Amino acid sequence: MKLNRRMVIAGMAGAAFAHGPLRAFATTSAQTGDYAFLSVSDGNLVLPRSFFFDGLPQEELAQALAPFNLPHDQLEPPCNLALLRNKERLVLFDAGSGPAFMPSAGTLLDRLEALGVTPDQVTDVIFTHGHPDHLWGVLDDFDDLVFQEARYHMGQVEWEYWRDPKTVETIGAARTAFAVGAARRLDAIEDRMNHFVDGAEVLPGIMAHASFGHTPGHMSFEVGGDSDALMIGGDAIGNHHLAFARPGWASGSDQDPELGAQTRQRLLDKLAHEQTLLMGFHLPNGGLGRVARDGNTYRFVEADQ
């Protein structure tokens, strides 16, 4: 697979995503199957360390995190959206945070503009899951659809979970706003929605992989095949540190921590064995890289290393 991390848009990427001159913009690009790929930033989240690390064995945690030099108060995970283009389609994976979730996020439209891409050029939006930083960007400040020409795609299990009126009562107080916000936004795109199941070809060359646990119906997506394969992992592998160093540990970001850990270990094993390129929503420097095995643990190798 041809790839280039943090490139200035030109050549392949520029030709693939616009029809005229582009302003310089640092990003991550690759070619997979029939698609040109770019990661596009939606800014970053700001979360307390406790969100990730509360309840874990502190001595072993300190050893696992020592190589990463993480801040001691809060973490600022990036938000990377995948954008694919071929001759027929411009496909966006997830819709970002939009204006209503977190001040540090919601920059997607500015970044698309820098690429010469307008929202009405997006033909398809494929969701990994329904959390705010992945879904809420479908609506703007006036509750109008941002991607007005797009068809939307979400796994059947995930759709049913967020559309179930009981979810707001069972999701827990910390995530109640997630459920209310998801229901409102999914209602707005219901008549444009396509549902799919594990193993389905969502669009030509894009296959769905169930990666449940982070949410009840979280999906990852394999694009291309063989040496050109790319796995768009969403939040199934949620960070570049503990998710790789201790994949079997529970994560506070997962709605089902036990299932999330099982999924994470299975996916890391697959990616390391097959050396499939991984695009992670919250992984660093555009989110593109490979999984290397270190004995019983793993590490994330960024695309240009």
Predicted confidence (pLDDT) per residue in 213-236, tens digit: 999 999 999 999 877 899 999 999
Residue 155 sits at φ, ψ, to 5 deg, of -55, 145
Q: Is 8 a residue whose pLDDT tops 50?
A: no
Q: Is 180 a residue whose pLDDT tops 70?
A: yes
Q: Is 305 a residue whose pLDDT tops 90?
A: no
The average pLDDT across 3-20 equals: 40
The average pLDDT across 49-78 equals: 94
Amino acid at 178: F
Q: What is the band of 21 on the pLDDT scale with cuts at 50, 70, 90?
A: very low
> Quick one: pLDDT at residue 32?
84
Q: What is the band of 304 on the pLDDT scale with cuts at 50, 70, 90?
A: confident
Instruction: Give the Cα separation of 46 and 51 in Å (integer).
Output: 10
Q: What is the band of 1 on the pLDDT scale with cuts at 50, 70, 90?
A: low
> Quick one: pLDDT at residue 25?
37
Count of C-beta atoms within a 10 Å radius of residue 131: 25
Give percent above pLDDT 90 in the chain: 83
Give percent above pLDDT 70 in the chain: 91
Contact 179, 151 (CB under 8 A): no
- Looking at per-residue pLDDT, the higher value among 193 and 305 belongs to 193
Q: Which residue has the tokens 């496909």?
A: 91
Q: Is 4 a residue whose pLDDT tops 60?
A: no
**CB burial of residue 2 (10 Å; 0-12, 13-18, 19+):** exposed
Q: Which residue has the tokens 């690390």?
A: 53
The average pLDDT across 259-267 equals: 98
Residue 70 sits at φ, ψ, to 5 deg, of -80, 150
Both tokens assigned to 232: 């768009």
- Can you give 20-31 as a three-state secondary structure string? CCCCCCEEEEEE
Domain spans in the chain, listed from the N-terminal domain onward: 3-302
Instruction: Give the Cα separation of 177 and 166 in Å (integer).
Output: 13
List CB contacts of 276: < 8 A, sequence separation 6 or more: 222, 229, 230, 231, 270, 290
- Work out the angle at residue 33's Cα, subtended by the Cα atoms of residues 218 and 205, and round it to the nearest 5 degrees: 45
Sign of CA pseudo-dihedral 96, 118, 123, 202: negative
Contact 127, 135 (CB under 8 A): yes
- The fourth-level CATH superfamily of domain 3-302 is Ribonuclease Z/Hydroxyacylglutathione hydrolase-like (3.60.15.10)
> Quick one: pLDDT at residue 27?
62
Q: Is 13 a residue whose pLDDT tops 80?
A: no
What does the mean pLDDT of the chain come to?
90
Both tokens assigned to 185: 């936004």
Q: Is 14 a residue whose pLDDT tops 60?
A: no
The average pLDDT across 159-183 equals: 97
Both tokens assigned to 7: 């490139």
Output Rg (C-alpha) for the chain, integer angstroms: 18
Each residue's pLDDT tens digit, 146-164: 999 999 999 999 999 999 9
